Amino acid sequence: MLKEQIQKDINEAAKNKEELRLQVLRMLSAAILNREKEKRYKISKEKQGAPEEDLARASWLIEEEVLETLFSEVKKRKEAIIEFKKGNREDLVKKEEMELEILRKYLPEQLSEEEIKRLAKEAIAKVGAKEPKDIGRAIAELMPRIKGKAEGGDVSRIIKELLASPHHD
């Protein structure tokens, strides 16, 4: 489980005095904990009076939810890098890039652009998408198959490019 691996790596980073890695992993762990608290709050609203241990167990994040939290943290770093580049803050760009590199180690293996294109073409054919306005249907078909293995922005861009070209093959 990813959550346990992150906790183990936090302990290792602390023992080895790896300050940046420790800081990034603690932020990730806090984001996961916050998401569990949100989930617990929602469940407690739905199941008022449920035993405390049932609420605790029900609020544990499943692997997919941990991955979603990880992707959210990755996205924050990427957005920060773009903004810091605009502001000519190379020092902060470097820091965010180092944090991003630490987080990427926990992502599942990512699909190559060619693999995404191949799968996107299959999705486009399956839903009969013919023009850019059909992008939503193609994305809806493709995303469940590649969730966690490709970023939504990349998938969207590739499908747009394929639908904008005269021949999608």
Phi, psi of 150 (to 5 degrees): -155, 150
Domains of the chain as residue ranges with CATH? 2-104 (1.10.1510.10), 113-164 (1.10.10.410)
- ∠ CA 160-165-169 to the nearest 5 degrees? 100
Is the Cβ–Cβ distance between 135 and 129 less than 8 Å?
yes
Predicted confidence at residue 164, as pLDDT, reads: 86
Is the Cβ–Cβ distance between 164 and 125 less than 8 Å?
no
**pLDDT for 30-60, tens place per residue?**
999 999 999 988 888 887 777 877 777 788 8
Phi, psi of 57 (to 5 degrees): -65, -40
145 — pLDDT class (breaks 50, 70, 90): confident
pTM of the model: 0.75
- Give the span between the Cα atoms of 141 and 115, in whole angstroms: 15
